[in-house]
């Protein structure tokens, strides 16, 4: 693949060519890929909850200090998510996987919408919002049947301890990051969609792939810290651009 758009093709056409030709593509997605499904992003204008930033609430300290408030935050996010469906960006990525079986989709999102859209080769490196996990024995249970009116804090069905949402909080290690970096080291193309590129170590999945020689394509309405390392940084919305780029 050539390193820069050839004269005859614009950046979008060049991106399409690279994406079709890729043998081992890795896709890194963030909250922006779910924006058009109605899921609030973290650092956009709708990222706050009662004046708190997610970084203040999505932490073990906040949970041990005030589990009720942290659970109210997550119950609210679950109630919003129940009204959301995959958008054309999620569907385009699921189709792309069927034509590129060695693809790996590394998502920072905890909304489960990639899986719902049909993607199967996924690493949900920050966990899943609709899972309850016991804070003591680690037993996980599916939270989706729980109705949003149920305001009790979920307790473990096995050891009786308090449950937490099945996500990775700030300050906690990211168990899947090692295998994501390993996949990035052998990717020939990275498609970065809808992430502000500020959360580590997730954002560095793109850096690892780049340093291993992968071409990098970014899709985001705004520039991010990852734009500088992208060969093609396309300004646009995921639900509009991905169906065009991946068809
Ligand atoms: C760890 C689950 C160590 C929870 C999440 C100072 C400097 C650097 C790093 C740090 C620091 N202080 C602390 C750290 C480390 C910290 C970190 O990175 N902090 C950041 C805030 C600076 N990282 C950690 O703590 C990680 N752990 O480092 O552990 C360790 C090691 C060993 C032993 C012990 C400890 C854990 C991080 C995981 C945190 N959990 N989520 C939950 O969901 O409640 S992260 C959270 O942010 C979400 O998962 C989210 O996905 C992620 C990243 O945000 P984005 O997805 O990028 O979303 P954002 O809103 O930011 O941006 C949206 C983008 O979409 C924008 O660019 C926008 O332009 C674009 N967009 C909008 N609309 C569209 C669009 N794009 C396309 N189409 C559209 N329509
Ligand atoms: Zn338990």
Can you give 164-195 as a three-state secondary structure string?
A: EEEECCCCCCCCCHHHHHHHHHCCCEEEEECC
Judged against a pLDDT cut of 80, whether residue 233 lies above it is answered with yes
Atom number in ligand 1 closest to CA 58: 44
Which residues, including other chains, have CB under 8 Å from residue 228's CB and lie 6 or more apart?
Answer: none
- 83 C-alpha to ligand 2 centroid (Å): 30
pLDDT per position as a tens digit, 80-111: 999 999 999 999 999 999 999 999 999 999 99
* Confidence (pLDDT) at 48: 81
- 72 C-alpha to ligand 2 centroid (Å): 21
More confident: 6 or 198: 198
Question: Could you give the CA distance from residue 31 to residue 206 in angstroms, rounded to a whole number?
Answer: 16
Q: Which of 60, 199, 244 to mutate to test the pocket of ligand 1 (most atoms within 8 A of CB)?
A: 199
Cβ–ligand 1 contact at 221 (below 6 Å): yes
What pTM, to 2 d.p., does this model score? 0.96
pLDDT per position as a tens digit, 178-212: 999 999 999 999 999 999 999 999 999 999 999 99
pLDDT band at 1 (very low <50, low <70, confident <90, very high): very low
Active site residue 126: yes
For the chain, what is the mean pLDDT?
94
Judged against a pLDDT cut of 80, whether residue 4 lies above it is answered with no
Cβ–ligand 1 contact at 110 (below 6 Å): yes
Cβ–ligand 1 contact at 198 (below 6 Å): yes
* Confidence (pLDDT) at 87: 98
Judged against a pLDDT cut of 80, whether residue 153 lies above it is answered with yes
Both tokens assigned to 2 = 């050539």
Identify the weakest region by mean pLDDT among 47-56, 122-131, 186-195, 213-222: 47-56
* Confidence (pLDDT) at 64: 97
Judged against a pLDDT cut of 90, whether residue 150 lies above it is answered with no
* Confidence (pLDDT) at 9: 72
User: Residue 192, preceding bond cis, omega within 30 degrees?
Assistant: no
- 29 C-alpha to ligand 2 centroid (Å): 31
* Confidence (pLDDT) at 146: 79
Cβ–ligand 1 contact at 54 (below 6 Å): yes
Question: Could you give the CA distance from residue 95 to residue 26 in angstroms, rounded to a whole number?
Answer: 14
* Confidence (pLDDT) at 8: 56
Judged against a pLDDT cut of 50, whether residue 2 lies above it is answered with no
Chain centroid offset of residue 238 CA? 13
Judged against a pLDDT cut of 70, whether residue 3 lies above it is answered with no
Judged against a pLDDT cut of 70, whether residue 6 lies above it is answered with no
CB atoms within 10 A of CB 188: 18
Distances (CA, A) of 158 to 64, 75, 155, 161, 224: 21, 22, 9, 8, 44
pLDDT band at 147 (very low <50, low <70, confident <90, very high): confident
Candidate ranges 47-56, 117-126, 143-152; pick with highest mean pLDDT:
117-126
């Amino acid at each position: 693949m050539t390193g820069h758009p050839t004269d005859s093709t614009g950046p979008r056409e060049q991106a399409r060519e690279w994406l079709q030709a890729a043998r081992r593509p890795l896709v890194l997605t963030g909250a922006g890929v779910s924006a058009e499904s109605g899921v609030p992003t973290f650092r956009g204008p709708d990222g706050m909850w009662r004046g708190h930033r997610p970084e203040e609430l999505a932490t073990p300290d906040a949970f041990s200090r005030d589990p009720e408030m942290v659970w109210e935050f997550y119950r609210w996010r679950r109630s919003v998510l129940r009204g959301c469906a995959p958008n054309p960006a999620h569907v385009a990525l699921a189709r792309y996987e069927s034509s590129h079986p060695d693809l790996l989709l590394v998502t920072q999102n905890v909304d489960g919408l990639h899986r719902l859209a049909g993607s199967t080769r996924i690493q949900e490196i920050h966990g899943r919002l609709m899972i309850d996990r016991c804070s003591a024995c680690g037993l996980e249970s599916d939270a989706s049947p729980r109705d949003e009116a149920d305001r009790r804090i979920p307790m473990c069905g096995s050891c009786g301890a308090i449950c937490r949402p099945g996500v990775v909080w700030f300050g906690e290690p990211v168990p899947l990051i090692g295998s994501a970096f390993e996949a990035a080291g052998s990717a020939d193309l990275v498609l970065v969609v809808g992430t502000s590129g500020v959360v580590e170590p997730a954002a560095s999945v793109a850096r690892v792939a780049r340093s291993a020689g992968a071409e990098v394509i970014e899709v985001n309405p705004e520039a991010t810290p990852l734009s500088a390392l992208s060969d093609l940084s396309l300004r646009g919305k995921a639900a509009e651009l991905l169906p065009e780029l991946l068809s």
